[in-house]
């Protein structure tokens, strides 16, 4: 099977460099187009302070400030995301690989599968951190979700396994 459109789910972890290096090699061999994608997790925007909601010395105006703080966090996340995706895109384009970038706010697994379907990807490449047991249960696994819900083939790039 040949791949013509490869969606790459980037999560800004140390494994992302490993994923992008492998996918660039694959895309070059397959003469494929890349779509680099990152989902900004809603939970990251919602984290204001451990004091929120405790009533410990909080001003009444905090409720009005939370949306502003969240907007500032979103803008910071968007800026960093665009910078990272552009850096990876430049690596691919330096090897004459047509490359697009896309980002969105929400669940990484679901958004990756939706984008793969709407863009017509025939391969999704995603990294795996090697979470197991309770860690995977509480933090979830994007690669696991994509494996079970993708509209196309999935390649999982194994990151460094945690020391047990």
- Per-residue pLDDT tens digits for 37-72: 999 987 655 554 444 444 455 555 556 677 788 788
Residue 134: predicted pLDDT: 47
Is residue 1 packed enough to be buried (19+ CB in 10 Å), middle (13-18) or exposed (0-12)?
Answer: exposed
Tokens of 63: 């409720």
Confidence of residue 138 (pLDDT cuts 50, 70, 90): very low
Tokens of 157: 């790039």
Average pLDDT score over residue span 28-33: 97
* Burial letters 35-70, b for 16+ CB under 10 A, else e: bbbbbbbeeebeeeeeeeeeeeeeeeeeeeeeeebb
Residue 3: predicted pLDDT: 96
Q: Are 97 and 3 in contact (CB under 8 A)?
A: no
Average pLDDT score over residue span 16-42: 94
Per DSSP, the three-state class of 155 is strand
Neighbouring CB atoms inside 10 A of 21's CB total 13
Average pLDDT score over residue span 89-108: 96
CA 63 remoteness from chain centre? 30
CA-to-CA distance for 140 and 109, rounded, in angstroms? 10
């Amino acid at each position: 099977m040949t791949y013509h459109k490869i969606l790459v789910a980037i999560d800004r972890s140390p494994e992302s460099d490993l994923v992008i290096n492998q996918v660039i090699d694959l895309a070059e061999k397959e003469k494929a187009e890349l779509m680099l994608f990152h989902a900004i997790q809603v939970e990251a925007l919602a984290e204001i302070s451990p004091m929120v909601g405790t009533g410990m010395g909080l001003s009444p105006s905090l409720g009005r400030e939370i949306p502003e703080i969240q907007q500032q966090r979103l803008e910071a996340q968007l800026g960093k995301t665009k910078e990272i995706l552009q850096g990876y895109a430049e690596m691919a384009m330096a090897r004459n690989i047509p490359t697009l970038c896309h980002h969105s706010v929400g669940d990484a697994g679901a958004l990756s599968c939706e984008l793969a379907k709407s863009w017509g990807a025939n391969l999704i490449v995603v990294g795996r951190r090697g979470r197991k047991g309770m860690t995977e249960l509480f933090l979830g696994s994007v690669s696991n979700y994509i494996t079970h819900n993708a509209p196309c083939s999935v390649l999982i790039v194994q990151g460094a396994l945690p020391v047990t």
